[in-house]
Amino acid sequence: MPSTEKRAPLDWFKSSYSGGEGGECVEIAVTEDAVCVRDSKDVSRPPLAVSGASWSRFVRYAVRG
């Protein structure tokens, strides 16, 4: 059965390294249970939710290049 519980809107942000033009970035929102990631070009699509540990591993990998 689908949940009828109302959820608070997520507080989305993007990297300070992103340009001010918009449309070419990913945005993230952190919740108690997950890090949500979405494409700033199409915010109507559902975000990808990953665990905090998975997000940390991804960021460490990305920083290493």
Residue 53 lies in a domain: yes
Residue 6 lies in a domain: no
> Long-range CB contacts (< 8 A, 24+ apart) of 46-50?
47/10
Average pLDDT, the chain: 84
**Predicted pLDDT of residue 18:** 75
Residue 56 lies in a domain: yes
**Predicted pLDDT of residue 12:** 94
Number of domains in the chain: 1
Residue 38 lies in a domain: yes
pTM, full prediction:
0.75
**Full domain range(s) for residue 50:** 25-63
Q: Give the distance, in angstroms, between the CA of residue 4 and the centroid of all CA atoms in the same chain.
A: 23
